[in-house]
Amino acid sequence: MVLAAGRGSRLRPLTDTTPKPMIPFAGKPMLEYIVRLLAQHGFDEMVINLYHLPEVIQDYFGDGADWGVKITYSLEKELLGTAGAVKRVADFFDEPFLVYYGDNLTNFDLTDFWQTHHCEGEIASIGLLWMDDPTSRGIIGLDKRNRIDRFVEKPRPDQVFDDYLVNAGTYVLEPEILDRVPADAVCDFSQDVFADLLAAGLPLLGHRIPGQLLSTDTPERYQYACECVDSGSFTLP
């Protein structure tokens, strides 16, 4: 599932007329690169949740056939959070599934991530990577078995610990994790679901995911991401 419903308030005025996942890179919307990436790794059926300017995304992608995929849309009348959005379409997921945050431009090796999850057999696997400034994302600590033992969402500088890794906004989940998400309520994976699982002593797998990630949540980060794409230092899917 691709999470694409956010307003993108910090990117205004660009997002006044363009949904955040549709901001351009090298002449194409970011969401097209996401769809391409998923298709390259064998994810040919996907659900995309929508809220802000949904018709822009629906008109561009249609049913996904031009990209060799089948797209189903979930239109939210109110934003439900990352976990609440997935819970709303829980009937689609009767086997393990991927969740991808639609405001991240990446070239991740999703096949490696998917296979690792299936080998390890936990209820959830969280894609991780290192960033020099982790304060805008969740940071995670791992034990020797790559199970998560610490999780701090958007830490203050004094909360950043040694050997941290950053939540990459990409998960592989077992369907039963949605039993822990209330129906028709705002719920977040990082702040609510994963925190509850850790508190209950249930293991979560952290996986160092091969590839690069560019954030687009502020004008400065979007400009930097465009520069990385234009210079060739970031390889587009």
In b/e form, how buried is each residue of 196-211, taking b as 16+ CB within 10 angstroms?
A: ebbeeeebbbbbebeb
| Cα(235)–Cα(166) distance, integer angstroms | 20
Q: Do residues 204 and 168 make contact, with C-beta atoms less than 8 angstroms apart?
A: no
Q: Do residues 187 and 130 make contact, with C-beta atoms less than 8 angstroms apart?
A: no
Contacts with 6 (C-beta within 8 Å, 6 or more apart), sequence order: 20, 51, 52, 79, 102, 103
154 classed as catalytic: yes
Q: Do residues 170 and 113 make contact, with C-beta atoms less than 8 angstroms apart?
A: yes
- In sequence order, the β-bridge partners of residue 46 are 71
Catalytic sites, residue numbers: 154
